[in-house]
């Protein structure tokens, strides 16, 4: 009798699982399904730059005069230039990695017809990024206005005749760092 009850229980379980499988196969557009992520390819502004090549970084908000400068000490740790205090390893590394990985999707050539005012360069940059490298070279990035989609910032990099459309997230992160670690 007990075997007959177990067999009946297994049969009921099999029927329930079969019904669930059939219902799921008939409704492929489940609400819980995540839509596919668009295939967006980011490029790096400085594709060959590494964190270890950077010896100093200055972030400046020219409109407000807020500025933050950090340099790599002889022990390899990042220091706040203003007070020679060692910065938190994670925070300093995040700042340096953000500059190294600075992402963009597209750029616009600068030519004689380009009006830089249209990109927010008729006033001081929103953010000025400077990175000094261990070979004495430096990189400078001037951040202009947000694009019309509000997802990217216009930027001019070094002396390259392009306007880059940099992703908003990393730029906002760097602006927040200046505001929290500023030297005036």
Are the C-beta atoms of residues 51 and 100 closer than 8 Å to each other?
Answer: yes
CA angle 40, 102, 124 (to 5 degrees): 120
For each of the chain's 184 residues, which pLDDT tens digit applies?
A: 566 666 666 666 566 666 666 666 665 555 555 556 566 688 999 999 999 999 999 999 999 999 999 999 888 889 888 766 567 788 999 999 999 999 999 999 999 999 999 999 999 999 999 999 999 999 999 999 999 999 999 999 999 999 999 999 999 999 999 888 754 4
- Reported as a single tens digit per residue, the pLDDT across 98-144 is 999 999 999 999 999 999 999 999 999 999 999 999 999 999 999 99
- pLDDT, position 81: 86
Cα-flanking dihedrals φ and ψ of residue 44, to 5°? -100, 140
Instruction: Specify the pLDDT at position 80.
Output: 86
> Residue ranges per domain, the chain?
43-181
Helices 89-101 and 168-181 sit at what angle, rounded to 10 degrees?
140
Compute the Cα dihedral for 134, 137, 142, 143 and give only its sign: negative
| pTM reported for the whole predicted model | 0.75
Would you state the pLDDT for residue 184?
42
User: Measured between alpha carbons, how far is 167 from 171 in angstroms, rounded to an integer?
Assistant: 7
Q: Which of 59, 75, 79, 55 is nearest to 67 (CA)?
A: 59
* 43-181: CATH topology: Immunoglobulin-like (2.60.40)
Sheet holding 103-109, edge to edge: 43-44, 103-109, 162-167, 152-157, 138-146, 127-133, 54-61, 66-72, 78-80
């Amino acid at each position: 009798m007990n075997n007959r009850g177990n067999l009946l229980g297994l049969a009921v379980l099999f029927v329930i699982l079969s019904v669930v499988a059939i219902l799921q196969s008939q409704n492929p557009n489940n609400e819980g399904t995540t839509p596919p992520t668009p295939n967006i390819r980011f490029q790096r502004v400085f594709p060959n730059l590494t964190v270890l090549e950077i010896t100093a970084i200055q972030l400046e908000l020219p409109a407000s005069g807020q500025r933050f400068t950090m340099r790599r000490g002889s022990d390899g740790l990042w220091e706040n230039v203003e007070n020679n205090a060692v910065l938190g390893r994670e925070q300093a590394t995040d700042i340096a990695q953000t500059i190294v990985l600075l992402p963009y999707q597209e750029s616009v050539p600068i030519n004689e017809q380009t009006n830089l005012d249209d990109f927010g360069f008729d006033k001081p940059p929103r953010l000025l990024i400077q990175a000094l490298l261990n070979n004495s070279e430096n990189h400078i990035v001037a951040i202009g206005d947000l694009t019309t989609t509000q997802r990217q910032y216009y930027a001019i990099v070094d002396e390259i005749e392009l306007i880059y459309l940099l992703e908003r997230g990393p730029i906002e992160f760097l602006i927040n760092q200046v505001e929290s670690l500023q030297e005036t």
